[in-house]
Structure 1
């Protein structure tokens, strides 16, 4: 025996994977906490706001008149 402690193993959809020493497996609780801490995302794709200050087309005009 080499004297090294056994490596931790994490089960994934691809099969069992060995973890680097000092790294803990990611639990479902950790995934849910990261999901809850993330900023909200829209449910549908948003349209660009092309009016007033944010109007990209008006910024590209070449002449004033």
Structure 2
């Protein structure tokens, strides 16, 4: 009696799987990729810069508004 082989289509062609092994699903591949920290491609040892612009700019919120400055010098 021959065992029923399962096959998986890959980028390099059709490949047979060992008995008891199932193909890795797209969801499992994506979950594995999201569990690792993101690294830049050009410089994987680079440190992340602080987000200090727009809504998260602590220094920008502490600045005096130009219109407030003009109204005090009349």
Name the TM tier (shorter chain).
0.5 to 0.7
Please list every run of 5 or more consecutive structure 1 residues that lacks an aligned counterpart in the other structure.
48-65
TM-score, normalised by the number of residues in structure 2: 0.51
Deviations 1:4-36 (A, max 9, x none): 321110001111100011111111111101011
* Structure holding more helix per residue: 2
* Higher RCO (CA-CA < 8 Å; seq separation 6+): 1
Please list every run of 5 or more consecutive structure 2 residues that lacks an aligned counterpart in the other structure.
48-74
Q: Which has the larger radius of gyration?
A: 2
Partners of 1:43 and 1:14 in 2: how far apart? 25
Match of 1:29 among 27, 30, 37: 27
How many residue pairs are counted as aligned between the two chains? 45
